[in-house]
């Protein structure tokens, strides 16, 4: 099938911010490079790189977060059942295959993709290496994903549960989040503005080549 590369942008309502990511999918191998900016729980900027193996299981997550007063760095790695955080072993994460970066819709993809929950029925329970933002503290988190239904256009509804929290995600055929109620909504690469309207707007001259 070969590598499939996409650029996606989400409005992250939970942080009053945004996230943008380049994502490459080759079978179930996912590589992502992303940037996020949020205002809650405090203003921060964040960059990350994510790499999985051929089963969509995390092998490496590197994150840098910056607030008005501090910078936080994280090097999270998995080798088999062994996890390390900044080089230190973390036995409490031994049952996990995935990382989960708080308020990032990208890291919901791996468990859904690995078990085909974007295509058909199933319920799967997981332990995640959950990364708090902006402190980048890593804790174990129990989560459940359940396939609820599939639309004619291939878009699926998948229920996410963690503790008492429940949310029904809408994901595309690549298992990438379109809508995560209360957290994030993907922004389509479209605009209602025509080329003529943009060209006549204030500021520097606009290109004329695109169609209305």
- Identify how many contiguous H helices and E strands the chain contains and give both numbers: 2, 15
The tokens describing 37, both together, are: 């900016």
* Residue 170: how many other CB atoms lie within 10 Å: 16
Phi/psi at 196 (nearest 5 deg)? -65, -40
pLDDT level of residue 191 (50, 70, 90 thresholds): confident
Phi/psi at 154 (nearest 5 deg)? 90, -5
pLDDT level of residue 145 (50, 70, 90 thresholds): very high
The tokens describing 1, both together, are: 């099938």
DSSP 98: E
Average pLDDT over residues 120-142: 97
> Hunting for tokens 């922004």 — which residue is that?
187
The tokens describing 10, both together, are: 């989400």
Alpha-carbon gap, residue 128 to 122, rounded angstroms: 18
* Residue 177: how many other CB atoms lie within 10 Å: 24
Radius of gyration of the CA atoms of the chain, in A: 18
Phi-psi map region of 26: left, alpha, beta (phi>0 left; psi -120 to 50 alpha): beta
> Is residue 199 over pLDDT 80?
no
Contact 3, 24 (CB under 8 A): yes
Give the percent of the chain with pLDDT over 90: 85
pTM as predicted: 0.89
> Is residue 66 over pLDDT 70?
yes
Average pLDDT over residues 150-155: 92
Express each pLDDT in 81-98 by its tens digit. Answer: 999 999 999 999 999 999
Give the percent of the chain with pLDDT over 70: 90
């Amino acid at each position: 099938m070969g590598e499939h590369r996409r650029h996606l942008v989400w409005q992250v309502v939970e942080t009053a911010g945004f996230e943008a990511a380049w994502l490459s999918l080759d079978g179930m191998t996912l590589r992502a490079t992303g940037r996020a900016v949020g205002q809650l729980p405090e203003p921060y900027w964040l960059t990350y790189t994510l790499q999985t193996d051929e089963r969509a299981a995390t092998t490496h997550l590197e994150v840098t977060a910056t607030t008005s007063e501090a910078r936080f760095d994280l090097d999270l790695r998995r080798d088999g059942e062994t996890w390390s955080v900044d080089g230190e072993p973390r036995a409490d994460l031994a049952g996990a295959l995935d990382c989960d970066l708080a308020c990032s819709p990208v890291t919901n993809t791996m468990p859904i993709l690995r078990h085909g929950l974007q295509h058909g029925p199933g319920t799967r329970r997981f332990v995640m290496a959950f990364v708090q933002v902006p402190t980048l503290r890593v804790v174990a988190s129990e989560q459940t994903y359940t396939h609820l239904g599939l639309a004619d256009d291939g878009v699926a509804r998948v229920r996410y549960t963690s503790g008492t929290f429940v949310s029904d995600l809408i994901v595309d055929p690549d298992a990438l989040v379109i809508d995560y109620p209360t957290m994030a909504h993907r922004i389509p690469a479209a605009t209602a503005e025509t080329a003529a309207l943009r060209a006549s707007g204030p500021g520097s001259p606009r290109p004329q080549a695109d169609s209305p």
